[in-house]
């Protein structure tokens, strides 16, 4: 029980690290995706500090679990955690978006250890995951492939091509996570392009579907712990209900904060709200 | 014993259905070549988009069923999945009509295959206007310009099955992605065996022209070499009907275009 509480405290701290560093790094670039990181911070923390099997000293370890950030615009919140778990020196983050830096708004696998695949153009990541999951079958490896998609990204037809093929090939080692923060660039997803009934869609495509509060660390831990064996015959999707911009009061639920910049005074306001959060 | 009332009637020898249509394309050797390469290269996997008869990759699927994946009519998903297979250490050969893979999937090729430097081999077959009366939806002439503009992509146009065989063999140990621009499998061969000294980027002398003479294989008898890419290269004729036995010009037997690499 104490182990569990220690783990939860660690995950809370790491989700906060992701958000705080996002504020700092976006401050360097003077433009960035706050809202998209803040909805995914608990998912990042749960994956990198508990769920994923990897070795930061051997980023190319063939048996590692793969993680594809299909919503690549949230990479600024992932980089600090990759540094924190040891893929590279955290001091490198200070170069974020500066000329010659490995770190841009979207992640490049050829420049950043720990990035399993480059992303940025929405709709591709689940297909790449299908390929990696098939490769596990061909090579006889037991890893899982996790793909984090945005909900706005589900407008892309290629996602559904990928969903169909994953069920067809019975990829029980493939796990899609939907960051269901209900906003995309132009507004609420319900207004820009309705994607409901979302759970029914995935079920109709042959996936095992679970819904979870994407900020509830205990619920996330339980849901990942209950994943079926990678050798099972059905892919799994976790629809993670999240809040864009959480927990900054003036950003929550606001599509306007999908992309933006906080001047130093407002960075301080946001950081104070993060620190005050329990 | 009475005949089965549901058996197929005996059809005329000229009649064909899809599985037997490959006899109309006697030079579709890619599936066979890949099946042979697959024996010694367990990392080779083959993907197609509901066209395994048209490209005859059934020849690979029959021998290596566990390494053959049909992606249905979902080309974009197939190309990105090939990038995922390559990222996990495999060597994917992805095949469909050039009109689909070279245009519909251009962004997937650029972003998931080229920028990531994945060793994906794209077999863009039935290229150019090979599909004839099937119409412009099935023609691909623009793909050459698009693919040549992608950083790090080797673009290779074959003239016949022997050159395709040599190039496919060479591709196993070639780093980076390749776009093979292939024909329909009905074009008459230029070579009578795979060129022995094949290498990407090196011209092959098919026939030596005579300097300054009118059978020099050049345009209008000039010394300019003729150039053509793909099966059209096999249609090249030296001026004044001085074609050699293979009907070929003294040009290059295959073309490889290498775009500027974005980084070392």
DSSP A141-188: ----EEEEEESGGGGSHHHHHHHHHHHHTT-TTEEEEEEE-SEETTEE
Q: What is the DSSP letter of A228?
A: P
| pLDDT value at residue B159 | 86
Q: What percent of chain A clears pLDDT 90, i.e. is strictly above it?
A: 99
Q: Please report, to the nearest 10 degrees, the dihedral formed by the alpha carbons of residues A77, A79, A85, A90 taken in order.
A: -120
Q: Residue written as tokens 């990829």?
A: A171
Q: Residue written as tokens 């021998």?
A: B63
- Count of C-beta atoms within a 10 Å radius of residue A201: 16
The token pair that represents A75 in the structure block: 């990479």
A138 chain-B contacts, CB cut-off 8 A: 45, 66-67, 85, 90
Contact A272, A209 (CB under 8 A): no
Mapped onto helix, strand or coil, the DSSP state of residue B6 is: coil
- Whether B70 has its CB under 8 Å from any CB of chain A: the answer is no
Compute the mean pLDDT over every residue in chain B, rounded to the nearest whole number.
Answer: 83
Contact B27, B187 (CB under 8 A): yes
Contact B188, B247 (CB under 8 A): yes
B84 chain-A contacts, CB cut-off 8 A: 117, 127-135
**Contact: B71, A121; criterion CB under 8 Å:** no
- Whether A234 has its CB under 8 Å from any CB of chain B: the answer is no
Nearest CB partner across the interface for B77, out of A136, A138, A165 = A165
d(C-alpha A108, C-alpha A117), whole Å: 7
Per-residue pLDDT tens digits for B143-178: 999 999 999 999 999 889 999 999 999 999 999 999
Distance set, CA B254 to CA B84, B205, B233 (Å): 30, 10, 8
**A and B: number of Cβ contacts within 8 A:** 103
The token pair that represents B80 in the structure block: 């990105």
Per 3-state DSSP, what percentage of chain A is helix, strand, and coil (rounded to 5)? 45, 15, 40
CA distance B90 to chain A (A): 7
Per-residue pLDDT tens digits for A191-244: 999 999 999 999 999 999 999 999 999 999 999 999 999 999 999 999 999 999
CA distance B131 to chain A (A): 26
Report whether pLDDT(A79) > 70: yes
Report whether pLDDT(A7) > 70: yes
pLDDT tier, B253 (very low <50, low <70, confident <90, very high otherwise)? very low
| pLDDT value at residue B236 | 53
A127 chain-B contacts, CB cut-off 8 A: 76-81, 84, 108, 112
CA distance B77 to chain A (A): 5
pLDDT tier, A277 (very low <50, low <70, confident <90, very high otherwise)? confident
Report whether pLDDT(B239) > 60: no
pLDDT tier, A152 (very low <50, low <70, confident <90, very high otherwise)? very high
Nearest CB partner across the interface for A109, out of B45, B85, B116 = B116
**Contact: B90, A120; criterion CB under 8 Å:** no
**Contact: B85, A162; criterion CB under 8 Å:** no
Residue from A227, A223, A207 nearest A162 by CA? A207
- Count of C-beta atoms within a 10 Å radius of residue B162: 20
CA distance A277 to chain B (A): 39
d(C-alpha B108, C-alpha B56), whole Å: 24
Min mean pLDDT across A152-161, B180-189, B204-213 is at: B204-213
Q: Complex ipTM, two decimals?
A: 0.97
Region label for A264, one of left (φ > 0), alpha (ψ between -120 and 50) or beta (otherwise): alpha
Contact A131, B76 (CB under 8 A): no
Helices H, strands E: what count in chain A? 9, 7
Report whether pLDDT(B215) > 90: no
**Contact: A132, B82; criterion CB under 8 Å:** no
Q: What is the DSSP letter of B109?
A: I
Report whether pLDDT(B83) > 60: yes
- Whether B28 has its CB under 8 Å from any CB of chain A: the answer is no
CA distance A55 to chain B (A): 16
Nearest CB partner across the interface for B77, out of A62, A121, A161 = A161
d(C-alpha B34, C-alpha B19), whole Å: 19
Residues contacting B190, CB < 8 A, separation 6+: B159, B160, B162, B163, B206, B233, B234, B246, B247, B248, B253
pLDDT tier, A2 (very low <50, low <70, confident <90, very high otherwise)? confident
pLDDT tier, B226 (very low <50, low <70, confident <90, very high otherwise)? low
Please count the CA atoms within 13 angstroms of the CA of B39 that sit on its side-chain side. Answer: 9
């Amino acid at each position: 029980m104490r182990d569990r509480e220690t783990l939860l405290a660690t995950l809370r701290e790491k989700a906060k690290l992701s958000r705080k560093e996002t504020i700092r790094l976006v401050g360097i670039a003077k433009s960035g995706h706050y809202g998209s990181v803040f909805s995914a911070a608990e998912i990042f923390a749960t994956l990198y500090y508990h769920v994923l099997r990897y070795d930061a000293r051997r980023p190319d370890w063939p048996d590692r679990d793969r993680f594809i950030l299909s919503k690549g615009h949230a990479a600024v919140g992932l980089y600090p955690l990759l540094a924190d778990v040891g893929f590279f020196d955290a001091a490198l983050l200070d170069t974020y978006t500066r000329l010659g830096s490995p770190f841009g708004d979207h992640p490049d696998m050829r420049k950043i250890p720990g990035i399993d695949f480059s992303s940025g153009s929405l709709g591709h990541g689940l297909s790449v995951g299908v390929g990696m999951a098939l490769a596990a079958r061909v090579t006889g490896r037991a890893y899982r492939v996790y793909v984090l998609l945005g909900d706005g990204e589900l407008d892309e037809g290629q996602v559904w091509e990928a969903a169909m093929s994953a069920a067809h090939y019975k990829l029980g080692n493939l796990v899609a996570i939907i960051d269901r923060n209900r906003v995309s660039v132009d507004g609420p997803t319900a207004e820009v392009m309705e994607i409901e009934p979302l759970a029914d869609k995935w079920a109709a495509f042959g996936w095992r579907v679970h819904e979870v509060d994407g900020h509830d660390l205990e619920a996330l831990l339980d849901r990942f712990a209950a994943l079926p064996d990678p050798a099972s015959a059905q892919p799994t999707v976790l629809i993670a209900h999240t809040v864009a911009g959480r927990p900054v009061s003036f950003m929550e639920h606001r599509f306007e904060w999908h992309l933006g910049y906080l001047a130093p005074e407002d960075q301080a306001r946001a950081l104070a709200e993060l620190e005050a959060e329990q | 014993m009475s005949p089965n009332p549901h058996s197929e009637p005996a059809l005329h020898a000229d009649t064909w259905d899809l599985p037997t249509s490959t006899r109309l394309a006697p030079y579709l050797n890619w599936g066979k070549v890949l099946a042979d390469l697959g024996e010694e290269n367990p990392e080779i996997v083959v993907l197609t988009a509901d066209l395994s008869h048209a490209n005859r990759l059934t020849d690979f699927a029959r021998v290596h069923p566990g390494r053959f994946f049909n992606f249905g009519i979902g080309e974009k998903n197939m190309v990105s999945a090939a990038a995922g297979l390559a990222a996990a250490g495999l060597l994917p050969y992805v095949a469909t009509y050039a009109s689909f893979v070279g245009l519909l999937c251009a962004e997937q090729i650029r972003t998931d295959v080229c920028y990531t430097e994945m060793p994906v081999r794209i077999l863009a077959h039935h290229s150019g206007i090979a599909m004839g009366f099937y119409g412009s939806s099935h023609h691909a002439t623009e793909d050459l310009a698009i693919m040549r503009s992608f950083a790090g992509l080797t673009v290779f146009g074959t003239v016949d099955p022997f050159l395709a065989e040599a190039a496919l063999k060479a591709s196993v140990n070639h780093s980076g992605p390749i776009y093979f621009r292939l024909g329909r499998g009905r074009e008459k061969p230029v070579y009578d065996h795979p060129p022995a000294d094949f290498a990407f980027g090196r011209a092959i002398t098919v026939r030596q022209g005579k300097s300054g003479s009118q059978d020099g294989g050049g345009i209008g008898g000039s010394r300019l070499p003729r150039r053509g890419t793909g099966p059209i290269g096999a249609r090249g004729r030296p001026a004044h009907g001085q074609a050699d036995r293979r009907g070929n010009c003294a040009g290059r037997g295959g073309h490889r275009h290498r775009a500027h690499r974005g980084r070392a």
